[in-house]
């Protein structure tokens, strides 16, 4: 008797392959701008959240502190971001987009949204919702199952 049940190991494999393909596709769309995926993620979070500390940016984009510092250094060298002191507490250093950075990420992000819609275009709204809800459930179950091994991911599944 045949079953329609898809084993979890098969889901993982399909998810991992899809992720790899999507990341390659996305990286290709902005690599000509001289930025990689981690740089893009930093610029994108600053575009949508405004000035943030390096540690908060790292939490939002799931990058370690050393990787964050390297990314910020690269972006600062390209004059896409700048570090500045917080007005209310001079001990706090914020990272913010420069005008050049804002223009660049606004353009790249608009193209990014269109690119993602293009590759998700074959999915109806019901499929999108089912995928979204399913991935959320899996992420939350994994978070609860192994919290001590993934403290940096705690609370990150949205």
E strand or H helix at 110: helix 99-120
CA distances from 104 to 32, 79, 92, 99, 158 (A): 12, 11, 26, 9, 27
Examine the pLDDT at 157 and tell me if it is beyond 60: no
Element holding 83 (H helix, E strand): strand 81-85
30-58: pLDDT as tens digits: 888 888 899 999 999 999 999 999 989 99
Distance CA 113, CA 39 (A): 17
Q: Is 78's pLDDT higher than 80? A: yes
Domain ranges of the chain: 28-120, 123-158
Check whether 86 has a pLDDT greater than 60.
yes
User: What whole-number distance in Å separates Cα of residue 111 and Cα of residue 135?
Assistant: 25
The SS3 of residue 50 is coil
Mean pLDDT of all residues in the chain? 88
Q: Between residues 32 and 124, which one has the greater pLDDT? A: 124
Evaluate if residue 143 carries a pLDDT over 90. Answer: no
Closest listed residue to residue 95, CA positions, set 129, 122, 61, 124? 61
Residue 54 contacts residue 68 (beta carbons within 8 Å): yes
Record the pTM.
0.80
Is residue 1 scored above 80 in pLDDT? no
Half-sphere exposure (Cβ direction) of 136: Cα atoms closer than 13 Å: 7
How far apart, in whole angstroms, are the C-alpha atoms of residue 158 and residue 156? 6
Query: Domain 28-120 has what CATH class?
Result: mainly alpha
């Amino acid at each position: 008797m045949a079953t329609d049940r898809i084993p979890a190991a098969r889901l993982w494999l399909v998810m991992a392959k899809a992720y790899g393909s999507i990341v390659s596709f996305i990286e290709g769309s902005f690599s000509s701008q001289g930025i990689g995926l981690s740089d893009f993620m930093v610029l994108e979070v600053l575009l949508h959240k405004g000035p943030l500390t390096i540690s908060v940016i790292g939490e939002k984009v799931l990058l370690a502190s050393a990787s964050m510092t390297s990314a910020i250094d690269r972006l600062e060298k390209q004059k896409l971001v700048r570090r500045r002191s917080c007005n209310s507490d001079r001990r706090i250093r914020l990272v913010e987009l420069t005008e050049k950075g804002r223009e660049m990420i606004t353009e790249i992000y608009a193209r990014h949204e269109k690119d993602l819609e293009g590759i998700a275009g074959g999915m109806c709204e019901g499929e999108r919702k089912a995928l979204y809800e399913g991935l959320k459930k899996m992420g939350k179950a994994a978070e609860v199952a192994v919290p001590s091994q993934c403290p940096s991911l705690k609370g990150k599944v949205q």
